[in-house]
Structure formats: C-alpha cells, structure tokens
Amino acid sequence: MIILHADTNHPILMKKLAEAGHHNVEGFEQSREETLQNQHLYDGIVIRSRYKIDKEFIDAAPNLKFIARVGAGLESIDVEYTQECGIKLFSAPEGNANAVGEHALGMLLSLFNRLNKADREVREGLWHREENRGVELDGKTVGLIGYGNMGKSFARKLRGFDVDVIFYDLKEGIADENARQVSYDEFFEKADVVSLHTPLTEKTHQMINKEFIASFKKPFWFINTARGKSAVTEDLVEALKEGKILGAGLDVLEYEKSSFESLFGNKKNVSISAADPIPEALRELMFMPHTLLSPHVAGWTQESHEKLATVIADKIIGSFGVENK
C-alpha cells in the first residue's frame, strides 16, 4: 500500500511499515489543499492533528482504505462518514495512557502540596511555610469521569495511596479492581477530586460548567488531561474564586487550536501584554496561585512517542498484513 504520513512521528512507524512491504510518502510540508489534490494516490493516511479529515477530504480519496491517528482522540476526523465509506479507522490510546496517568498524578500531588506556588516564591526570595501547608491524598475520594484507557491508567497509579477511586462512565459494567463504578448522584456526593478522561463529543463539549460544578456536595480539586473544550474556562475561574473548586491542574485549555499547536502564536510574554487578544478568563486563570497549567503534554513523553507509533504500525500491519516487496 501507498501510505501518506501527514505529520512527523517516531521513525519506528515508517520503519515497521516499510519492513512490511508498504510504501511511505512524507507529506509533512503539504497543506491540506495540496494533499486533497493528490489524495487519490494513497491507500492510507497517518495523521496526528494537523488538519481535519472531513467528507470533502474522504470523497477526494477513492482508494483510501484506512485513516490512522497517532493519538487517542478522533474529534478531527468525521468518524461516522469514515465508517459509512467502509474505511478502517485506527487510533492509539494504548500508546500514551501510561503517560497521561502519570501526568495526572503529578499534577494532583503538586496542587495538594502547593509545589508550583512554593517553588516560585522561593525563587523570589520568599520563605512562606504556613501559607504553603499541604494537603494529603490519603483518605480522599478520587472521582474519574470516563473509564477508558486513560481513566484506567490513572486509577492504576493511585493504587499506592489509601484512596477510594470511583468513576462515572456511560458504559456500564466496566468496574475493575482499581475503581468502582457509581451513579452521578454518588459521584457528586463523594468526590474530593474530579479527573476528566473523556473524548470530545457533543455530550462532553462544555460539560464542566457552572451547573455541573454546583451539583457537587463539597468543594473539589479538578484535573483535566482530556480535552480543553470540555470545560468552560469562565465557570472554572468563577468556581476557583468562590472556593467551589480548590485547585485546578489543566493540561488542556478551552482556547486551544484543533491542531493542539501553540495557543499564543509563538509570542512571548503574552500573559502580561494587554495588546494580545487573550480571553479575560484565561488571563485570570494564568495568574491564579492554585492552578497548574501545561501545554497539552500529558501524553507527550519520550516513551509514549515510540509507543504511539508502534501501536499504530502494529494495527495497520495486523489489519492489512505484509505485502510482497
């Protein structure tokens, strides 16, 4: 098969496909429009998030047998139309689930122990011990929304702590030894920590809003390593001000581009420049001491870089086999 690679990935991906007799085409510099013109040439496309694959794109590719996304989410692909056309769809949530679980745990522990705030203060010559008294994780109830690969990974990471791990998921009967499945009512009643592990869909878009936050019986800590557009930033900021949310660790932001590339257009010092068109809610969030932000890197480790590529290569080869050279 002739396979277009729209993004750079770990070299093991092309290596494994080439060894299986497939022909790799590097389209790293091609625009979406340029790809559309040549799409009839390809049997498959491997992409991360550089551009959307919609009906127009698929219709321009009469020979397309598969679309492979080197990542977990599929919101940049018209999944329904892809399936209608009989095109196989591959993703690789298994490849970065461990990285996401570790990142979520790191964010939570940092927030509980005020490490980001304390570090910044010490570097500024401040020695505030009482103001940085931490909170222990043991004895807390950690609530996960979504119990797929990412949620399960975080639950496994929590096994070393004396915590009650609960989760809510639309799919029933998926509890295991690491977490128990509960109703939304029990979730709202018991959760001390809320960690989001859902794909971006119509149901999860702006799901974390003021009404959702108001449903909880007690203040909680919030972790989002899923998708930024699942949470309304203005409502998060308001809840942080009011103490309804005690702290927030956000690896993803509502205002990210669909490609997940730079939020700021590669500008520097955007947080202190009034001329930059940054939403006020985001500007406030950036200066809050009980927030921890990272640039969509929860699943972005040295190890996951290779594992994601390996998973995708193995799925393609497993489905289409080895071609004669």
Active site (catalytic) residues: 227, 256, 296
Distance CA 180, CA 169 (A): 11
Strand 164-168 with 180-181, pairing: parallel
Do 69 and 91 meet the contact criterion of CB atoms below 8 Å apart? yes
